[in-house]
Structure 1
Amino acid sequence: MNRTQSIASGLFFSFFAIQPILAEEAAELQEIVVKEKETKANLIRKSRHAIQQEMINDTRDLVRYTTDVGISDNGRHLKGFAMRGVEGNRVGISIDGISLPDSEENSLYARYGNFNSSRISIDPELVSGIDIYRGANSFNSGSGSLGGSVNYKSLDAVDIVLDGNKFGSLLKTSYASKNREWVKTVGVGYLGEKLDLVLLYSNRTGHEMKSNGKGDIELYSSRQKPDPSRLRLNNYLFKLGYAFSPEHRLAFSINGQKGSRYTDELSYTSIGSFWREADDENGRINANLNYAYTPDSKYLALLRADIDYQYTDLAAVNNKGRRPWNFTKNQYEAKELVEVHDRRMKTKYTRFSVQMDSQPFEFPSKLLGEHQLSVSAFVSRRDFKNINYDTIIGASTTVYTIQHPVRTNQLGATIKDKVVWSPAFGEWSPMITAQFGSRFNYEKLEPRELNAACSAACKREGKPDTSVFENVTSFLDLEAQLNSVWKVGYNVGAGYRIPTASEMYFTFDSPYGKWKSNPDLVAERSVTHTFSVAAHSEKGSFDLNIYQSNYNDFLFERETIVKSYNPYYHLCAYYGCSKYFETPRQQMVNIDKARIRGLEAKATLSLNTLSDRLNGWSILGSIGYSKGKLSTESSLLSIQPMKMIWGLDYEAPSGKWGIFNRLTYLGAKKAKDAQVVENIYSSRGYEPEVTTYKYLNKSAYLFDMFGYYKATKNITLRAGVYNLFNRTYHTWDALRGINANSTTNTVDREGRGLQRFYAPGRNYSASVEIKF
């Protein structure tokens, strides 16, 4: 048995070692008292308390202590999350239930970094909670939730106003050394009998993420230090609600962000002495107006109507130039700006929705249980367009687009039933809960007239035809609360993702690369099965999930070799030139199937169970492991390596201070799980070859320590030290995001430049929060 297997075995033994303690507690209770919890087996709910305690400042921090969930990392651009073996657009991201736009960039442009392909990230300062749902979840989140979804819930007045007060205010300052980032937040709130209000502003300034690698190479793809960058991000939130009576409430909210990350791309590799500085800009506005009716009725519990609006603007403003060579001084002169490329992806989204919930009711027969129905319907419209402004210094600006704008009209409806039974088997009366529902979505993608000049290939194809997608997704969630401690469950959910506008309609033709549109694409589909066992009591908890996710009609970027006649062949045939040019051509196709299997386990134990002297102490352990296979010869690189976490915590019974320790094991990516297909050029032309991905991470152990101290009722100090022992390591998410053939986010052929992708060494965070 190797070392890793020994560790995993030890962790599992520790899981099952606490079961007798939990079973003993269940046996001690003569009367079963069940408190229903809405948190499901495949749902991780990060409360505001957890966000503050774990000092979550960004997307990377959010998944730091979460097994089997990673990020989609592409250097300058974070493309969201990775879970259940898929990533990027296949994992939905939303704020207050409104989905954020998909990334619209393809690999043709990704090679050059000319567009901002990021998924918009929500600042944790704006939120009161984050729900991470692992597994297909299109019933709740619609298109995009193939492998899971992440929903951010914005702050409410109750998150700022202290208990017993009507007015409240928040002042917070924090610093993180890993990227020299300062966060400053100020907010006010009012919580009255009829009126509630919250206003918050947050400013974030920082720099590039540090690397624990070392080296003296400063320029091009072999650069060994991260490219210098400056981050500026402003966030705001406003909410106003008024209850005209106990039954009627009207509320309005608006939140948004505007930011930029300016990067001096010293690792940029192009012809000769050319350089590039990139300013990745992001802007977002979300607004909501809602009316809620909660009558004193034995039939209707809630009637709610919402109007939502969202606007996003993602841009990459690339400043390019050259470094003139001074032959006299034998060195480069100062940079000269030659051109500015401003490339923008914009979306506008509006939605009207209605939801109605019934009061719990029973049929005449008790065998049918207690039911609670919920129905909803919505109509929405999303407009997407690309607009680019390319300026050559001293000349005019060229305005153009890479494809037709696309309008997506959506109609949808859902129905859900929650059923609760309490059958009696002698003295044993378990509580059985079943939730099941279906969602219908009609989505019509309608290409619009060009908003600017387009390429010859774009004009040659003309305006594409309208595409229609109709999808029905369902779910079933069964839980049996066997006693006050133990619960077993089974969940099956379906997901789908319709292709993006770029995947369907983008076309490009050049001697350096070709891209063929494919308006005949169909939606990707997934089904996730999860079996769960859980035990929760005051003494501790145990959770075990075993799952399988099946994916069909997987969208795959297929590369073929296109031969075109060499117009100069008659002039160079005597010298042996080729009669045909061979050029790679990409096209999105539905080709793959995939299957992911895995398990997640977590256990916690309050040590005062063993001795009163250990009051306040607790331990925890968790593990995530998954395995998967595509129907082709390639591997799913987004499957996360094994990850294990151990914790030893102490919180003073008074609640005045606490300290938390985490030991994390990051597993290595195995070569057999990282197979890729590459077109290799030889004397016979391009030929596909199955090979191992070049850059595999090694396993690593990391130790973190963080805690808090409540100086007064109103002042809380927090601090943490991460990677305490200064381990030098790569994460798999960082390495798999390296571009193989690119001018950006790449390394040279000998692997020089990998030092740039090391995770930060020892680093710390600290914050001061004042609430009064």
Structure 2
Amino acid sequence: MHKKTPQFFTSGLIGLSLVFLIPLTGNASKTKITNNPIQVTQNNQLVKITGVSLTKTETGLKLNIETLQGTNPDGEILDYDTYTVIKLVNTQLQLSGRDSFSQANPISGVSLVSVTQTSEREVEIKVVGEGKLPRVEELESKTGLLFEIIPETTAAKPPTPEVTNQPPQVKPENTSKKTPETNDTIELSVVGAANLAETAPGNITVIDREQIQRQQARDIRDLIRYEPGVSVPYDTRGGLQGVNIRGLDGNRVNMQVDGIRLPAEYSYGTTRIGRDYVDIETLNSLEIFRGNNSAILGSDALGGTVSFNTANASNLLDILGKNSLTNSRLQYTSKDTGFVGTITQANRFDNLDTLFIYTRRDRNAIQVAGGNNKYQDEQDITRNNFLGKVTYNFAKNNFLEFTGEYFHNIADSRFSPDNLPGMTFEGSTQALREEVTTKRTRLSLGYQFDNLDNQSWLQFARASIYYQDANIQEDSRRSILSRGAIQNQEADKEFIDRVIGANLQLRSDFQVGNIKNRFTYGFDISNTYNERNYFNFNTTSGTRVALPTFPQKDFPDSRTFRLGIFLQNEITMGNDKLKIIPGLRFDVYNLQAEDNLEFIQKNQGNPAVDYAASAINPSLGLTYEISPGTTTFARYSRGFRPPLYDELNFAFRADIPLRPHKGIPNPDLKTETSNNFELGLRSRSQQFDFGVTGFYNRYKNFIERSAFVFFDQNDFGSIPSGGRRIPFQVFQAQNIPDAEILGLELKAAYRFSQNPGGFSIKSALGWQVGNDLTRNRPLATIGPLQAVVGLGYQSPNDKWGAELIGTFVAKARELALVDDQQSVVNGGQPTRKIDFYEPDSYALFDLIGYYNISQNLSLTAGIYNIFNTEYYQYADVRSINTKSPAFEAQRGRYAQPGANFAVGLSWRF
């Protein structure tokens, strides 16, 4: 390593300011980093750090600083009595979901390793010894910078008295660099491969494993609690329904786990089958992509994409620096007397890694604010989740991985007597009990290669094949009073979703003149089978007697083939300030439905409909770095979502007194399309982060799943009224020709200290407006204005931290009155309107915190809804009619928890 004679600080004022920035305890030596340094006087190019990993070796640690394109920053090393500071100039941190990197007590002899942005163009690395100065040496690296950290084992020298204005001592010159040794390592990493949140032309949220645990999230609804513009609708019978992003939910949002699409959401009548198939205890991170990104993530994700990324052994073995890790975690939540227990076992055997995670959950019905639980159904919910992985590492970032996953959830509900009048079953419901069992099995084999230094045509490759089987069984037992007699009935319903598929994503990096290219291309292909069975029995006599017209199918057995071929190129030019990202995706969609006898029996003569569609969908993204740390971006994309099996072949028949009604398939249903526009600005500095995004989306042929179309004068109910035959009301999925959604998203954060830790303020805001332009009325799926503000504190060594968070939700926009088709009597006109419920505004305050008792033992705790506020979430209650006689009961079932607490304990060994 070449040496440079240091400049002396002769000004007392400058020396005093340095004491506040770096608390000197003795003399310092200063060494120039010369591993292909950037000469600042000749090139002021900003170097971006995209990954930091800390690896335990036989002699100490290795600190790997990965930079974009492997560019090397300029800097210097300063040694003090007990710690070393490495200053990197013209450098910026761009880590996934992190402001800094910090690890306390990684090994004996080293008390802290931190990487922090100290100014707009300067990054500081600090290595603190335990009373002794660790040795820090630079090694050769082709991906950025690499340092070896060796703790001092000799006796510590007495502290050297501080002498004002004395020059730091120069290290003895050593012109040779050590070559990194190959050994079995364990890394603690923050990688910027998911650097999307900082560099992509759009608004992306990344929530890592640490945040998941510190937030004590029980499910995805808890996880996005502080994300304005994102919500998770909940149904008291079907559970979590999916994710609403920018006013769109259901199957307009793509949800995937490790790149595998989760089953679609399904609803029919009072049945709501959601998409709660993933236990968050298995996650390494969660990514929320707001808006459509048609090139890689799929054209049918009109609202956005939620990507669950499960942990692997290397993510977890990095924590302790061993080849084996056992981690146990317990958590209790008072709102539903819920217990969670997770056991994790990770091992490394030479090139082979193994991982096993088991989670058990038990909980009951929630305790609502105000103590009025009369509308809360009794519930017992149990869950078992297993995740296993075997990974063979050919080399670093070059591995083959087999994954097995099994999800099993049982929700046993006994309906409150106060809720029974609101049930829609024929007759008067006297009692109702329902058990819903959800299962998902996934097997996948994946390969990944990631090497920026590879001199061939390929720098990244990821491929996988997979099989997934999801099954939901709904068993209900009810007693009804019909025509003066009690009838006991049993209903068994089954929903099946099986998919087999494969995907491939490749990337080639090359340069043409001064223009850099990152060319990504690949495909995904899948074949999905869906089935819905419905059996209904009369058990009054003590035996199971099938009711007339059963068994039935709500939709015909269906097979859906999907193929997507995508191309995208990230073009960088203008001294790396301008990026142009054009993309193109070709989608093929083919739905084949079978005319099952059970479906024909229920549908009475309307044949099942097949559907085929294809489209080429472009996208274009732009980012421009206005100044160091400040970037503006713009994006356009085109969305394409063909109708699903249950939308196209929506069918039912209810021959009830006064109001017979039915649903029929629509062979003329059209594909939804969208044109999506987005513009934003984000800025990141030493202490202040800011981001603003505006978007406008225009939709054609928006699908409304169940719309009244006409009275069928050729089909009449079997029960006349006043001697008059009553025609069936006909419902059908219909296209809304024209709709729009626009909105604004803001985020800001301020850190009071330039060093790791200290006080910080964070805030976020989400606002959307949506309109049905054809009928000139608001879209019901648009959530209200929401803002989140948090005041937090983190100790400098990350020993403990706490945050007070306020969530402020406005009253939702008033929806238009619509005809209540349930008020139709004897085939006449509706006699009343539906006045949809818009809950009042509210404010919630939570206090959450953590305490690292030791390196291996940590405690998390939180108090939620501190002031016991009574409130309802718009996403849950937006379809409730205030004019309904059962309004209070229907709304009361969705009352939210009052003041409650959660506490968790995690230990590893």
TM-score (structure 2 length as normaliser): 0.72
Say whether the 8 Å CA contact 2:870–2:898 is kept in structure 1: yes
Distance 1:299 1:709 in 2: 48
Distance 1:650 1:601 in 2: 22
> What is the Cα deviation at residue 666 of structure 1?
1.0
Deviates more, 1:645-654 or 1:242-251: 242-251
Which of 494, 502, 526 is the aligned partner of 1:352?
Answer: 502
Distance 2:401 2:714 in 1: 65
The size of the alignment, in residue pairs, is: 699
Which residue matches 1:181?
A: 338
**Alignment pair present for 1:168 and 2:325:** yes
> What is the Cα deviation at residue 454 of structure 1?
3.7
Which residue matches 2:309?
A: 153
Say which SS state the counterpart of residue 243 (structure 2) adopts: strand
Say which SS state the counterpart of residue 444 (structure 2) adopts: strand
Distance 1:465 1:697 in 2: 40
> What is the Cα deviation at residue 380 of structure 1?
1.9
Deviates more, 1:383-392 or 1:305-314: 383-392
> What is the Cα deviation at residue 414 of structure 1?
0.8
Distance 1:82 1:769 in 2: 32
Say whether the 8 Å CA contact 2:837–2:881 is kept in structure 1: no
Distance 2:225 2:383 in 1: 22
> What is the Cα deviation at residue 158 of structure 1?
2.8
> What is the Cα deviation at residue 578 of structure 1?
7.0
**Alignment pair present for 1:560 and 2:705:** no
Say whether the 8 Å CA contact 1:730–1:758 is kept in structure 2: yes
Distance 1:567 1:620 in 2: 61
> What is the Cα deviation at residue 91 of structure 1?
1.4
Say whether the 8 Å CA contact 2:438–2:471 is kept in structure 1: yes
Distance 2:697 2:525 in 1: 30
Say which SS state the counterpart of residue 202 (structure 1) adopts: strand
Say which SS state the counterpart of residue 80 (structure 1) adopts: coil
Distance 1:716 1:186 in 2: 15
- AA aligned to 2:802 is I
**Alignment pair present for 1:33 and 2:91:** yes
- AA aligned to 1:316 is E
Which residue matches 2:782?
A: 639
CA offset digits 1:219-243 (Å, max 9, x no partner) = xxxxx43111111111110111112
> What is the Cα deviation at residue 404 of structure 1?
2.1
Say which SS state the counterpart of residue 738 (structure 1) adopts: coil
User: Residues 422 and 190 (structure 1 numbering): CA distance in 2 closer, same or farther, change over 3 Å?
Assistant: farther
Distance 2:511 2:832 in 1: 60
**Alignment pair present for 1:314 and 2:472:** yes
User: Residues 679 and 505 (structure 1 numbering): CA distance in 2 closer, same or farther, change over 3 Å?
Assistant: closer
1:515-530 to structure 2, matched below 5 A, reads 515-530=663-678
Deviates more, 1:81-90 or 1:504-513: 504-513
Say whether the 8 Å CA contact 2:589–2:613 is kept in structure 1: yes
- AA aligned to 1:539 is Q
- AA aligned to 1:595 is E
Which residue matches 1:361?
A: 510
- AA aligned to 1:695 is Y
CA offset digits 1:275-300 (Å, max 9, x no partner) = 21111111101221123456843321
Distance 1:38 1:563 in 2: 53
Distance 2:481 2:654 in 1: 28
- Stretches of structure 2 that go unaligned for 5 or more consecutive residues are 1-45, 47-86, 95-194
- AA aligned to 2:762 is L
- AA aligned to 2:526 is S
Which residue matches 1:589?
A: 734
> What is the Cα deviation at residue 214 of structure 1?
4.9
Which of 376, 379, 383 is the aligned partner of 2:529?
Answer: 383
Which residue matches 1:371?
A: 517
User: Residues 273 and 685 (structure 1 numbering): CA distance in 2 closer, same or farther, change over 3 Å?
Assistant: closer
> What is the Cα deviation at residue 316 of structure 1?
1.3
CA offset digits 1:33-70 (Å, max 9, x no partner) = 35554213411111111111222111321221011111
User: Residues 509 and 272 (structure 1 numbering): CA distance in 2 closer, same or farther, change over 3 Å?
Assistant: closer
- AA aligned to 2:458 is L
Say whether the 8 Å CA contact 2:412–2:433 is kept in structure 1: yes
Which residue matches 1:276?
A: 432
User: Residues 250 and 588 (structure 1 numbering): CA distance in 2 closer, same or farther, change over 3 Å?
Assistant: same
Which of 364, 368, 391 is the aligned partner of 1:241?
Answer: 391
Distance 1:685 1:322 in 2: 26
Distance 1:751 1:206 in 2: 25
Say whether the 8 Å CA contact 2:837–2:879 is kept in structure 1: no
Say which SS state the counterpart of residue 51 (structure 1) adopts: helix
> What is the Cα deviation at residue 246 of structure 1?
5.9
User: Residues 297 and 675 (structure 1 numbering): CA distance in 2 closer, same or farther, change over 3 Å?
Assistant: farther
**Alignment pair present for 1:45 and 2:187:** no
CA offset digits 1:145-184 (Å, max 9, x no partner) = 1111111001111333224211111100101111111111
Which residue matches 1:502?
A: 646
Distance 1:603 1:396 in 2: 63
Which residue matches 1:102?
A: 264
**Alignment pair present for 1:655 and 2:803:** no
Deviates more, 1:38-47 or 1:399-408: 399-408
1:287-326 to structure 2, matched below 5 A, reads 287-292=443-448, 296-321=454-479
- AA aligned to 1:488 is T
**Alignment pair present for 1:395 and 2:547:** no
**Alignment pair present for 1:260 and 2:405:** no
Distance 2:361 2:762 in 1: 33
- AA aligned to 1:530 is E
Which residue matches 1:117?
A: 273
Which residue matches 1:693?
A: 835
- AA aligned to 1:63 is I
- AA aligned to 2:377 is D
Say which SS state the counterpart of residue 798 (structure 2) adopts: coil
Which of 109, 117, 137 is the aligned partner of 2:293?
Answer: 137
Which residue matches 2:563?
A: 411
**Alignment pair present for 1:532 and 2:680:** yes
Say whether the 8 Å CA contact 1:75–1:738 is kept in structure 2: no
Distance 2:450 2:293 in 1: 28
> What is the Cα deviation at residue 139 of structure 1?
3.0
**Alignment pair present for 1:55 and 2:216:** yes
> What is the Cα deviation at residue 402 of structure 1?
3.3
Distance 2:397 2:289 in 1: 32
- AA aligned to 1:198 is L
Distance 1:387 1:487 in 2: 53
> What is the Cα deviation at residue 317 of structure 1?
1.0
Distance 2:375 2:617 in 1: 47
Which residue matches 2:358?
A: 201
- AA aligned to 1:421 is M
> What is the Cα deviation at residue 83 of structure 1?
1.7
Distance 1:101 1:373 in 2: 31
- AA aligned to 1:513 is H
Say which SS state the counterpart of residue 669 (structure 2) adopts: coil
Say which SS state the counterpart of residue 225 (structure 1) adopts: coil
- Stretches of structure 1 that go unaligned for 5 or more consecutive residues are 1-25, 217-223, 327-331, 424-429, 742-746
Say which SS state the counterpart of residue 589 (structure 1) adopts: strand
Say which SS state the counterpart of residue 407 (structure 2) adopts: strand
Say whether the 8 Å CA contact 1:67–1:624 is kept in structure 2: yes
Of all paired residues, the percent bearing the same amino acid is: 22
Say whether the 8 Å CA contact 1:563–1:582 is kept in structure 2: yes
> What is the Cα deviation at residue 692 of structure 1?
6.9
> What is the Cα deviation at residue 199 of structure 1?
0.5
> What is the Cα deviation at residue 245 of structure 1?
5.0
Distance 1:475 1:513 in 2: 43
Which residue matches 1:3?
A: none
> What is the Cα deviation at residue 674 of structure 1?
5.2
Say which SS state the counterpart of residue 860 (structure 2) adopts: strand
CA RMSD after TM alignment = 3.1
Say whether the 8 Å CA contact 2:736–2:772 is kept in structure 1: no
> What is the Cα deviation at residue 592 of structure 1?
3.8
Which residue matches 1:475?
A: 619
User: Residues 689 and 103 (structure 1 numbering): CA distance in 2 closer, same or farther, change over 3 Å?
Assistant: farther
Distance 2:402 2:831 in 1: 57
User: Residues 488 and 769 (structure 1 numbering): CA distance in 2 closer, same or farther, change over 3 Å?
Assistant: same
Say which SS state the counterpart of residue 211 (structure 2) adopts: helix
- AA aligned to 1:403 is F
Distance 1:474 1:62 in 2: 32
